[in-house]
Amino acid sequence: MDVLTEGTAEYLKVDPDGFREWVRDHKSRALVSKLVSEQEAVERLVADGDYFVFDCAEAMRGPMSLIREIIRQRKKDLWIAGKFTFFIPSMLVAAGCVSKADMGFFLGWGSVINKAVQEGTLKVYEYGNTVMTMRLKAGAMGLPYMPMRILGGTDTFRYSAGKIIDDPFTGEPMVAMPALNPDVAVIHVHQADVYGNARVFGTGIAHVESALASRKVIISTEEIIETEEFRRDPGRTSIPYYAVDAVVHAPFGAYPGECAGYYASDPGAIIEMGAADKLDAWDAYLEKWVYGVASQDEMMEELVGMTKLRGLIQRATIKEGYRA
């Protein structure tokens, strides 16, 4: 295939047949319970050096309890997909978890990422949010790459892993981006059963794509529901069980963010992240919110408390569309 131009980024090896073999050998098509604790899920399924994708951001249905657990377990050398994020990339870098990042967007108020790049502990490759979700879509379709009509001609493209190829049917130039099949995906959902069937209500970034594209998939869920519920309304199932490796029951798992229909965000606690970033004060932040507590439950109990929690739940007045 004639490659007219190509970007310079290192990229996660594209290997659709290898991914298929992983799926065959490591995922289960039997209905077996995958319910585990956040500690066990992260211990067993997140390895140092993994390519790590998480869906959504800290303000909006991000898998925050699991991200905190990943930091708590001091995972190292992760390669992160930085699409549609705010402060999470900085937090993970500050915590020493990350060595590479494919960046679409983050809110860089502070200097932690710049400093890590300058010190040589972090490499950053350039993408846009939708380029990253399209890479995941190719990965979720079992394809090695995705043709697309975006990004060509930019410096973002130049420092990505994209290629410009000539389309075999029109002869016109076309951007092709390598499929992304992360080692591990972490996704927060509204409802799941113990087997991993999962429902997400509302819009999304790439929760379905991330689940299907990834070798190891951890779902954290606000509610565990009966499989019967899925059978009563199969059109509401977002992610099929056979893509999922672990289910963690994590009520308020998106805190400090919103989980639409369940609870509102805690603006103060989100701004606390922003302040930690701006002031390069991540150590104190992590000590308080991550290392200083043993678990999500302990954090909610000791640092949030029932009164605030009731307020967050109370503010989630919009239910339309967020119930099956």
Partner 1 sequence: MNEMKKAVGTPATTFSEREYEICVAARMIEDGKSYWVAIGGGPLYAVLLAQRLYAPSAMYVTEDGVIGPEPLLPLDPLVIGVASRPNYRALMWSTMNGLTEHAQLGHMDYGILNSLQVDPYGNINSTWVGAYPEEGRRMNGPGGADAIASACWRVLLMVDQQKRKFVPEVDFISSPGFLDGSPGAREKAGLPRNTGPWRVATPWAVFDHDEDSRHLRLIARAPFVTVDQILAEMDFRPLLADEIEVLEPATEEELLILRSELDVTGQNTGVGRWVAQAEDGSWSFAEDNG
Q: Name the residues that contact a second copy, by CB under 8 A.
A: 1-3, 14-17, 142-145, 147-149, 163, 165-170, 172, 174, 176, 178-179, 201-202, 231-236, 320-321
In whole angstroms, how close is the CB of 262 to partner 1 at the nearest point?
9
Which DSSP string corresponds to 149-203? SSSTTSHHHHTSS-EEEE-TTT--EEEEEE----SEEEEEEEEE-TT--EE--S-
Q: Among residue numbers 234 through 253, which ones bind partner 1 (CB under 8 A)?
A: 234-235, 237, 240-243
Decide: residue 173, CB within 10 A, 0-12 exposed, 13-18 middle, 19+ buried.
middle
The single-letter code of the amino acid at 286 is L
Integer CA distances (angstroms), 164 to 73, 128, 150, 179, 276, in order: 41, 16, 11, 15, 40
In whole angstroms, how close is the CB of 80 to partner 1 at the nearest point?
13
Q: Does 35 bind partner 1 (CB under 8 A)?
A: no
Total residues contacting partner 1 (rule CB under 8 A)? 97
Pairing of strands 246-249, 216-224: parallel
28 vs 40 by CB, closer to partner 1: 28
16 vs 292 by CB, closer to partner 1: 16
The three-class DSSP label of residue 43 is helix
- Written as six digits, the tokens of 137 are 């879509």
Q: Among residue numbers 84 through 143, which ones bind partner 1 (CB under 8 A)?
A: 84, 86, 103-108, 111, 113-114, 117, 124, 126-131, 133-134, 137, 140-143
77 vs 229 by CB, closer to a second copy: 229
Work out what residue 72 binds among a second copy, partner 1, none; the CB cut-off runs from 5 to 8 Å by kind: none
- Written as six digits, the tokens of 37 are 């604790």
Integer CA distances (angstroms), 241 to 33, 34, 72, 174, 264, in order: 10, 9, 27, 35, 28
Q: How far apart are CA 130 and CA 296, in angstroms?
A: 31
Q: Does 208 bind partner 1 (CB under 8 A)?
A: yes
Among 152, 272, 278, 281, binds partner 1 (CB under 8 A): 152
Stretch of residues binding partner 1 (CB under 8 A), selected from 16-24, 73-81, 216-224, 303-311: 16-24
Q: What's the Rg (C-alpha) of the chain?
A: 20
The three-class DSSP label of residue 311 is helix
Work out what residue 45 binds among partner 1, a second copy, none; the CB cut-off runs from 5 to 8 Å by kind: none
42 vs 128 by CB, closer to partner 1: 128
Integer CA distances (angstroms), 221 to 6, 45, 183, 308, 318, in order: 40, 17, 20, 21, 19
In whole angstroms, how close is the CB of 17 to a second copy at the nearest point?
8
Q: Among residue numbers 282 through 311, which ones bind partner 1 (CB under 8 A)?
A: none
Work out what residue 21 binds among partner 1, a second copy, none; the CB cut-off runs from 5 to 8 Å by kind: partner 1
Q: Does 313 bind partner 1 (CB under 8 A)?
A: no
Work out what residue 3 binds among partner 1, a second copy, none; the CB cut-off runs from 5 to 8 Å by kind: a second copy
Q: How far apart are CA 244 and CA 239, in angstroms?
A: 8
Among 56, 187, 192, 244, binds partner 1 (CB under 8 A): 56
**Residues near 116 by Cβ (< 8 Å), separated by ≥ 6?**
93, 98, 122
